[in-house]
Amino acid sequence: MPDILISENIRGEAVDALAKQFDVVVLPELWKDQAELMRQVAECRALIVRNQTKVTAELLAAAKKLVVVGRAGVGLDNVDVEAATRGGVLITSTPDQNAISVAELAIGLMLSLARMIPVANEDTKAGHWNRQRFLGNELYGKTIGILGAGKIGYLTARRAQAFGMKVLAYDPFLSRDNVLLSELQAELVGLDELLERADVVSCHLPATKSTLGLLNAERFARMKPSATFINTARGEVVVESDLVAALKTGQLAGAALDVRSKEPPVAGELEQLANVILVPHIAAFTHEAQQRVTNTICQDVGRVLSGGKAENAVNRV
Ligand code: MLT
């Protein structure tokens, strides 16, 4: 049995370096088979995952020798942190390593919606020259509403400001005198006010008990009919059927989704709508971010297994 089991597609020099010190097994498809995952992890001291492996209380109970779980990424919705803490298993993650990439994708999607770039591309490649059909909107002078003003929300807002956008932020964990908000000259407002005033709403909220289904019919109804909605955070925050209805009835001008309530999704109405841009949870998938994430997680797991302290521990055990 290996010391370290990697149950998703995580590779690179940092994994090779770890393998010089420990017995490492990489099984990129293992996350798909929970029973086999539980069998494989039983004797391991470390498990390294992305967002697809379900690190449940049951799995943690079966992994009697487990000391540390490395989450290569930022969201912790696939890891039962409470159960890990109870069982004395340390969780470490890579909180800031992919933030720039996610913020850059959010901006790319915002521009793509404002100028209809994907549809114009398809149309032009199909042999048309429809200049009038693609009369877009400027971002300059518009308002971006950032839902969740953590690191990614902050970096997205900073980039939006470079386009001359005004920034509104909703974050129940921040106070009005927050330094980063002041630096951005962002206005901290309530959720409903943000939805009513923003021209672009960019979601950066984690999936927690209090955010599940937060963006529902009632919330979309508050948004301007000319507004667009971008989600590069977690799909579970949105009631997708309500979003479809808002887009179909013109309650909302457009949406761009990197994340879905079920991944991979079952193709449905969203895939048919021209005012929707869909990408397959790639916000953190850049060469640079993945290298940083892999290095950080491998180093932290190696440190813990060698008796040292994790630099990015999520819990205390
Ligand atoms: C994250 O939570 O870090 C991103 O969604 C990317 C991922 O989960 O792999």
Structure confidence by residue, pLDDT tens digits, 159-171: 999 999 999 999 9
247 CB less than 6 Å from ligand 1? no
Asked if residue 50 has its Cβ within 6 Å of ligand 1, the reply is: yes
The helix (run of H) or strand (run of E) holding residue 218 is helix 217-222
Closest ligand 1 atom to residue 51 Cα is 8
Angular region, 219: left φ>0, alpha ψ -120 to 50, beta rest: alpha
Q: Is 284 in the pocket of ligand 1 (CB under 6 A)?
A: yes
Q: What are phi and psi of 184, to 5 degrees?
A: -85, -10
Within its chain, how far is the Cα of 289 from the centroid?
13
> Rounded distance, CA 35 to CA 245, Å?
38
Q: Is 281 a catalytic residue?
A: yes
Q: CB–CB of 252/225 below 8 Å? A: yes
User: Is there a common fold for 4-97+287-305 and 99-278?
Assistant: yes
How do the domains of the chain map onto residue ranges?
4-97+287-305, 99-278
Q: How many CB atoms lie within 10 A of CB 291?
A: 14
Q: In this structure, are residues 65 and 45 in contact, taking their beta carbons and an 8 Å threshold?
A: yes
Our answer to whether residue 197 is catalytic in this structure is no
Q: Which of 51, 102, 231 to mutate to test the pocket of ligand 1 (most atoms within 8 A of CB)?
A: 51
Per-residue model confidence (pLDDT) at position 179: 87
Task: Say how many Å lie between the CA of residue 71 and the centre of ligand 1.
Answer: 9
- CA–CA distance from 237 to each of 3, 156, 286 (Å)? 36, 19, 24
d(CA 259, CA 233): 7
Q: Give the pLDDT score at 172.
A: 95
Mean pLDDT of the chain: 97
User: How many residues does the structure list for the chain?
Assistant: 317
Q: What type of residue is 253?
A: A
The answer to whether the CB of 98 is under 6 A from ligand 1 is yes
Provide the residue type at 24 as one letter: V
- CA-to-CA distance for 217 and 255, rounded, in angstroms? 14
CATH of domain 4-97+287-305: 3.40.50.720
Tell me the pLDDT band of 176, cut-offs 50, 70 and 90.
confident
Q: Tell me how far apart the alpha carbons of residues 110 and 230 are, in angstroms, rounded to a whole number.
A: 7
Catalytic site includes residue 234: yes
Residues 82, 122, 218, 263: which is the catalytic one? 263
Distance 130 CA to ligand 1 centre (A): 38
Q: Is the pLDDT of residue 1 over 90?
A: no
Q: What is the rounded CA–CA span in Å between residue 144 and residue 166? A: 6
Q: How confident is the model at residue 69 (pLDDT cuts 50, 70, 90)?
A: very high
Give the tens place of pLDDT for each residue, 131-145: 999 999 999 999 999
Q: For a ligand 1 pocket test, name from 49, 50, 93 the mutation site with the most ligand atoms within 8 angstroms of its C-beta.
A: 50
Rounded (5°) CA angle 234-237-243: 110
CA 150 to the chain's CA centroid: 12
Report whether CATH 3.40.50.720 matches the domain 99-278.
yes
SS3 of 39, please? helix
Which tokens in the block code for residue 217? 């019919």
Taking alpha carbons only, the member of 62, 30, 44 closest to residue 1 is 44
Cα 166 → chain centroid: 23
pLDDT number for residue 181: 86
What are the residues facing 4 on neighbouring strands? 24, 46
Q: What tens digit of pLDDT does each residue of 233-279 get?
A: 999 999 999 999 999 999 999 999 999 999 999 999 999 999 999 99
94 CA to middle of ligand 1, Å?
10
Cβ atoms < 10 Å from Cβ of 111: 13
CA distance linking residue 208 with residue 192, whole number of Å: 19
- Band of the pLDDT at 180, cuts 50, 70, 90? confident
Q: Is the peptide bond before 264 cis (omega within 30 degrees of 0)?
A: yes
What integer is the mean pLDDT of 42-54? 97
CA of 175 to the centre of ligand 1 (A): 26
Average pLDDT for residues 114-137, to the nearest whole number?
Answer: 98
On the question of pLDDT at 289 being above 90, the answer is: yes
Amino acid sitting at position 276 = V
Does the predicted TM-score (pTM) go above 0.85? yes
